[in-house]
Amino acid sequence: MTARNPGHPFSLPLAAGAAAFGGSAAAVRDPKNARILLIPVPYDATTTYLSGTRQGPAAILRASQQLELFDEETGREMQDLGIATLDEVEVDAGGPMAMVARVRSLGEQALAAGLFPLMLGGEHLLSLGMIQAVAGKADRLSILHLDAHGDLRETYQGTPYSNACVMRLASDYGSLVSVGIRALSVEEHRWLRERNLPVFYAGDIRRRPDWQEEVLAHLGPEVYLTTDLDVLDPAEMPAVGTPEPGGLHWYEILDLVRLVCQRRHLVGADVMELCPQPGNPAPDFLAAKLVFKILAYRSAARI
């Protein structure tokens, strides 16, 4: 049985049904029945190349309202998952770390109410706040990091509070397993080797048929999944700020996420860095469907 809301008053402002993930057909009518909290955070202050990920959460929600409610693979229907969607989180003028603190607080409130938190981004730095929130509750947290980039710099453009540094900061809160990497600096490469951290480079894993099982072997019992959408190949996911050739494919990602949901406890997740392209809705739909797949796999694994 899925953990239910243990009766904590749940007072965060929810998006109205028509604006929620999946629209009014899928959103919980009574917050007391929620098991999942989607947290849309329209923020992109430190993005290094193309900005626009602040439009990402709204685009994901819009596309989600056109998705089929049934997932044929798991037999799950969206309206049975208990999805509540928070109103878009307001931007804090105090800067990136004030936003990270705001995200952490929302993540902690979701967890305290017994809800599975999934953030829609927005820039990847925000993942730090969610990872801090779940790390406070988790037993030996593993951080499964899907990304084209290492995001492991000590500082970038004069600050450690940047997209380019987020996983370095997050590594204080759990053991990091990075997948899909194909762009990093020599310092990031050295830092990974010194710590002997597992990295699954995009160019390497396509020669290893069971790489998803290899990733799984590095994950502890409780896993946070952080997804920078640029982990996907830009042919499938062009709507990102810093595209890199040679990315992972849709079904490769699904195979990994399904396996993790079946064999580990997924305690939180995010889907970040959608930078919508006017006139090309396909990436918005990919991101929305990835969210649904994560939730359906997790739900199917926990019955």
**In the complex with Mn ion, which residue's Cβ is closer, 82 or 283?**
283
Q: What are the start-end ranges of the H helices in 171-281?
A: 186-195, 202-205, 211-217, 250-263
Taking the C-alpha atoms of residue 253 and residue 124, their distance in angstroms, rounded to an integer, is 18
**In the complex with Mn ion, which residue's Cβ is closer, 67 or 274?**
274
Which parts of 30-59 interact with Mn ion (CB under 5 A)?
none
**In the complex with Mn ion, which residue's Cβ is closer, 111 or 152?**
152
CB of 194 to Mn ion, least distance (A): 22
| Backbone φ and ψ of 154, nearest 5° | -75, -45
Query: What type of residue sits at position 139?
Result: D
CB of 273 to Mn ion, least distance (A): 6
Taking the C-alpha atoms of residue 122 and residue 167, their distance in angstroms, rounded to an integer, is 16
- Residue pair 203/248 in contact (Cβ under 8 Å)? The answer is no
CB of 164 to Mn ion, least distance (A): 9
Structure token digits, residue 87: 């109103």
Residue 6, CA distances (Å) to 9, 33, 158 in order? 9, 10, 44
CB of 179 to Mn ion, least distance (A): 12
- Residue pair 297/257 in contact (Cβ under 8 Å)? The answer is yes
Binding to Mn ion by residue 230, rule CB under 5 A? yes
**In the complex with Mn ion, which residue's Cβ is closer, 125 or 138?**
125
Number of residues that bind Mn ion (CB under 5 A): 5
Question: Biggest alpha carbon distance in the chain?
Answer: 51
**In the complex with Mn ion, which residue's Cβ is closer, 148 or 286?**
148
**In the complex with Mn ion, which residue's Cβ is closer, 228 or 252?**
228
Taking the C-alpha atoms of residue 253 and residue 247, their distance in angstroms, rounded to an integer, is 10
CB of 150 to Mn ion, least distance (A): 9
Binding to Mn ion by residue 149, rule CB under 5 A? yes
Out of 108, 147, 188, 252, name the contact with Mn ion by CB under 5 A.
147
| Backbone φ and ψ of 206, nearest 5° | -70, -10
CB of 41 to Mn ion, least distance (A): 17
Per-position x/- string for 189-228, each x denoting binding to Mn ion as judged by CB under 5 A, each - no binding? ---------------------------------------x
Binding piece for Mn ion, criterion CB under 5 A, among 82-90, 99-107, 147-155, 274-282:
147-155
Upstream peptide bond of 247 is cis (omega within 30 degrees of 0): no
Binding site for Mn ion (CB under 5 A): 147-149, 228, 230
